Structure 1
Amino acid sequence: MALRRFIARRGTPAELRSDQGTNFKGGERELQEAFANMTPTLQQQLASQKIKFNFNPPAAPHFGGVWEREICSVKTALYTCVGAQPVHEDVLLTVLLEVESILNSKPLGYVSADAADADPVTPNSLLMGRPDGSLPQVMYPETETLSRKRWRHSQVLADQFWSRYIREKWQIRQKWHSTTPGLLEKAVVLVVDPQLPRASWPIGRVIKVHRSDDGCIRSADVDIKGHVYTRPVARLVCLPDLPSGEN
């Protein structure tokens, strides 16, 4: 049913990657059996729509480190903002979809161009053809978690998720003695700011770096849409340069 829901919203994928969970293995087996029971003519017609399942080796969660790390951050944030409180199904579904929107609006990189502003590439860019499809946000005080108005409750939980996620995803290092790789002048960076509204991912270009007496870069001046902000290195994430042909 999860696969059917995914296909209904995103279309049929050509390839799926996962661990060897019994639900994933069982789903593949059932689909393979259903395909084998079809007539040869129908198999030939559907062959181009088959989904390739790629499973990680047993007892090797690190093979899926990219998505496992993301899942861990999301779970931790959800445990914090929802916890053991009873949440109506409509509220929980709304919060989960808000979380999906936050993750799919996160920049993956940027496209090199002569324009002054870097063009960030997000999962939404690949899924919908535009960077962000979210609705305007409404912020309510945290006291609304006790409200009987489910809309307000869902928005408060989404804001709490964002606050926790932005801290969990990019933990500030307590002590370091080396320069952040790639943080040089003209580098394109994502500025991490927990004070901004949820799903806000400000992108800017480094115009000046500040070195301390030991030679390490500790902060930098970042130009964001004509405004210059000085931020510590721990709040800056360098974005990779994606050639326009891969966008």
Structure 2
Amino acid sequence: MIQSAKRCVRKTIGKAQLTYDEFITIIAEVEMILNSRPLSYIESDDNEQPLTPSRLIIGRRVINLPSVESNDTFEEEFRITKEELHDRMKYFHVLLNHFWMRWRSEYLIKLSDTHRHSPLKLNQSGRINKGDVVLIHDEELPRGQWRLGVMESLFKGIDRFIRGVSVRTHSPGGQITTLRRPIQRLYPLEVSATSEGEPIECSTVVNSPKV
């Protein structure tokens, strides 16, 4: 996990021209991305929020960088124009989105590979059941956000292998909806894919970020 994150950070900002404070800010955002990944699912949670490393560390979900708004105001004491500050923030988001897409891809591949080599294989008949909670691959979600779903129905092919799943999930507006997805677009949660006794990796930084 940490090696994958370091590799993605190097490929994303290895040649970027950043000040020390800018670098610390981006690392803090990377920390948020890593610690917002769903480890498991709390059935008793009224808000149906996944159990993440950040909730285990500080008891709540961490917040990412603010979005860039045209009406944001800046103090006059800065020796930089408002347009330059906006351009810098947009540059931050470009770097972070690049990291997010690269790391998410590696993370999902790792989840898939880990589960494939475990006794529970998603594509074998009878190995997954109605009610299991899975991670749904969704390219449209904002950076650092994940979509969980509960499997309701399994669809098998003529070879008796499971090829598709009906998943109950929440729409972006918060409404309950049912989706049908191929098995290749669903991933087990990290705890279910981790062997017993293996520690869960969490990312932390020592100092608070400066923006």
Name the CA distance, whole Å, in 2 between partners of 1:78 and 1:125.
24
Number of aligned positions between the proteins: 161
Indicate the residue corresponding to 1:78 in structure 2.
9
Cα deviation for residue 139 of structure 1 reads: 7.1
Q: Greater relative contact order (Cα 8 A, min sep 6): structure 1 or 2?
A: 2
Q: Deviations over 1:124-155 (max 9, x none)?
A: 1112212x120465379xxxxxx773322212
- The within-5 A match list for 1:88-237 is 88-113=19-44, 118-130=48-60, 132-135=61-64, 137-138=66-67, 149-171=87-109, 179-180=121-122, 183-225=128-170, 226-237=176-187
Percent identity reads 30
Per the normalisation by structure 1, the TM-score is 0.56
- Deviation of the 1:160 alpha carbon: 0.9
Between stretches 162-171 and 188-197, larger displacement belongs to 188-197
Aligned alpha-carbon RMSD (Å): 2.9
SS at match of 2:149: strand
CA drift at 1:118: 4.4
- Distance in 2 separating the partners of 1:230 and 1:154: 35
Q: CA 1:103–1:114 in 2, change beyond 3 Å: closer, same or farther?
A: closer
TM superposition shift of 1:114: 8.9
Amino acid at match of 1:198: R
Specify the structure having the higher radius of gyration (Cα): 1
- Summarize deviations over 1:46-74 as a string: whole Å, max 9, x none: xxxxxxxxxxxxxxxxxxxxxxxx12221
Unaligned runs of 5+ in 2: 70-83, 171-175, 193-211
In structure 2, give the amino acid aligned to 1:99.
V
Counterpart of 2:14, as a letter, is G
Distance in 2 between residues matched to 1:129 and 1:114, nearest whole Å: 13
Q: Distance in 2 between matches of 1:83 and 1:221?
A: 42
Does structure 1 retain, via aligned residues, the 8 Å contact 2:29–2:64? no
Deviations 1:68-102 (CA, angstroms, capped at 9, x unpaired): xx122212222332232322222221111111001
Aligned partner of residue 170 in structure 1, secondary structure = helix
1:220 counterpart letter in structure 2:
V
Structure 1 unaligned residues grouped into runs of 5+ = 1-69, 141-146, 242-247
Deviation at 1:221, TM superposition (A): 1.6
The amino acid of 1:133's aligned partner reads: V
